[in-house]
Chains A and B, each alone.
Chain A
Amino acid sequence: MTRTFRDAFAAFRRAPSLTLLSVAMIGLSLFAIGLFAVVAHNVRIVLDTVEARVQVVAYLRDDAPADAVELALSEIRAYPEVLEADYISREHALQIAQEELPEFRTLFAELDVNPLPASIEVRLRPGQRSPEIVGDIAARIGAYPFVEEVQYGREWVDKVYLLRRIAGAAAVVIGGAFATVAIVIIGAAIRLAIFARRDEIEIMRLVGATDGYIRRPFLVEGLVAGLLGAALALGLTFGTYRIIFNSVFQVEWVPDTWVATGLAAGGILGMIASGLAVRRHLRDL
């Protein structure tokens, strides 16, 4: 085992320029994925924020019995899809209207009677905001006899949902394309490094090294080159995020799990690419 690591690092020492070249190639290709991840993450945050505003509002009849409303409220709060449900009294509704619509404040003040109905405002949990679920909740609430009308902005919900699906599909296609390009580049970089050492592989075979013995240090090298490349990509992505994004507009950095996944993917890709390239050489010699 120590031999494997000693050989792998001796190879780094012997051909540092070649190693740096493959690390740089891996780093740059993963950098593209890093930038994509930052953009994708922030698009998701925006969509989440927009979607969080989806709510179902049930307007109540003026003669709705208070105890029945109270009971309904606790039932609605118990729905698994529901995040929160609030009762807005007529007086409270008027107060909100006066605050949120100052241009109509005088109009409201001149009214003798409060024209606004009481209502129940329901917000749904994340992941429970698809048009089907929202419609279903609206129908269930609308079934209470004291509910006059239920509104939930069907078009708004439909559009947000469509937008999310388009964004999801775009992420899969673009991310998939970037990942494919990265895999191809990593494979080429590692193959280049191994091609430069084909004489060494040939001589190892000549003097009786087993294939496993030949392969192991290359796997370690691939792993290390992949990890270093991924670390380089992380540095470049974070630098870009700090310098450009933060000076133009506020964005979020990607979650730690994404960073960890990226680093692991770099290492594993490097190792796989290395293993495949060595296998090719072992077959050809």
Chain B
Amino acid sequence: MIRFEAVSKEYPRFGLALDNVSFEVRKAEFCFLTGHSGAGKSTILRLIHMADRPTRGEVRVSGYSSHKIRPREIAILRRKVGFIFQDFRLLPDRTAAQNVAFALEVTGARRSLIRQRVAKLLAQVGLASKAEAYPSELSGGEQQRVAIARALAHEPMLLLADEPTGNLDERATRGIMELFRSINAAGTAIIMATHDLDLVRSMPNCRVLELDHGRLVYDSLSEG
């Protein structure tokens, strides 16, 4: 589903962020990306989302190649790849329901359909009762659940999460990880970047990719 082939990424101002990285991620896999900050975790997520193109090598996601993908196809791809961030990235002037609906509106879905789907998504992340709350009225964990509901709007095949629990307390973190587990069990692959090793250890069945200074230094799949 995802294949990195000898991928390097160089930023003009920051230098080499990824150095000759190759790996594959299969359907419905749950995969942690670990490493210190600046190791290249976010760069990998951005490359999968086609927000950046590799300097060398090729990134393939769901049949699209980083060499050939067109802007319109990137938009289509992103509907199949949800993205979650540490800082949630919700629109502060819209309610939880409107934030989730936003993702559906861009595809031109009918309003009645959007209403039904939003209600279902908010129920799935346990926020049915907070549909009309604004982000400022929600806790960090709740805001992240809204962001997850938004990322799930198009029934993605893959969920990218960049330090999704970085701003959350332990209890909220446990709740979010529970949610990820159930989303993954339903068939959505998850790639989660984190530097929280306790979190990684708490889910021993997941694959782990470790980065160091832009190089892939450990892959639990090949290490067995």
| B78 beta carbon closer than 8 Å to chain A | yes
Is the pair A209, B93 in contact by a Cβ cutoff of 8 Å?
A: no
Given A200-B91, A202-B89, A203-B89, the answer on whether A209 and B71 have CB atoms closer than 8 Å is: no
Docked Cα-Cα span, A202 to B108, in Å, equals 18
Binds A, one of B99-107, B163-171, B184-192, B208-216: B99-107
A77 contacts B by Cβ under 8 Å: no
Verify if A3 is at the interface (C-beta below 8 Å from B).
yes
The answer on a CB contact under 8 Å between B75 and A208 is yes
Q: Using CB atoms and an 8 Å cutoff, list the residues of chain B in contact with chain A.
A: 71-72, 75-79, 83, 89, 91, 93, 102-103, 105-108, 150, 153-154
Judge if A211 is at the interface, Cβ distance under 8 Å. yes
Query: A41 at interface (Cβ–Cβ under 8 A)?
Result: no
In the docked arrangement, what's the CA distance between A211 and B71, Å?
Answer: 8
Chain A residue nearest to B77 in the complex (CB) = A208
From B72, B77, B89, B153, A199 is in contact (CB under 8 Å) with B89
Give the CA-CA distance A60 to B46 in the complex, in Å.
Answer: 93
A207 close to B78 (CB less than 8 A): yes
Interface 0/1 of A189-221, CB less than 8 Å to B: 000000000011011111111110100000000
Cβ of A140 under 8 Å from chain B = no
Q: How far is the CB of B161 from chain A (nearest CB, A)?
A: 13
Q: 8 smallest A-B Cβ distances: which pairs?
A: A208-B79, A209-B106, A208-B78, A207-B103, A210-B75, A208-B75, A14-B93, A206-B83
Number of A-B pairs, beta carbon distance below 8 Å: 44
Residues of B within 8 A of A211 (CB): 71, 75
User: What is the size, in residues, of chain A's interface with B at 8 Å between Cβ atoms?
Assistant: 15
In this complex, what residue of A is CB-closest to B104? A207
Q: How far is the CB of B10 from chain A (nearest CB, A)?
A: 19
B contact residues around A203 at 8 Å (CB): 89, 91, 102
Task: Kindly provide the distance from the CB of A82 to the nearest chain B CB, expressed in whole angstroms.
Answer: 64
CB distance from A86 to the nearest CB of B (A): 73
Closest to B84 in A: A206
Q: Chain A nearest CB: distance from B53 CB in Å?
A: 14
Contact B154 A208 (CB under 8 A): yes
Please report the C-alpha to C-alpha distance between residue A121 and residue B154 in the assembled complex, in whole angstroms. 85
Q: Tell me, in angstroms, the Cα distance from A211 to B75 when the chains sit together.
A: 8
Give bound CA distance, A206 to B46, whole Å. 11
Find chain A residues with CB under 8 A from B93 CB.
14
A208 to B76, CA, bound (A): 6
* A3-B108 CB under 8 A given contacts A207-B102, A207-B103: yes
CA separation between A229 and B147, bound complex, in Å?
38
A207 contacts B79, C-beta separation under 8 Å: yes
A78–B203 CA distance with the chains assembled, in angstroms: 102
B164 to chain A, nearest CB (A): 14
Whether the Cβ atoms of A204 and B106 lie closer than 8 Å is yes
The residue from A14, A199, A205, A213 contacting B78, defined by CB atoms under 8 A apart: A205
Assess whether B153 is in contact with A207, with CB atoms less than 8 Å apart: yes
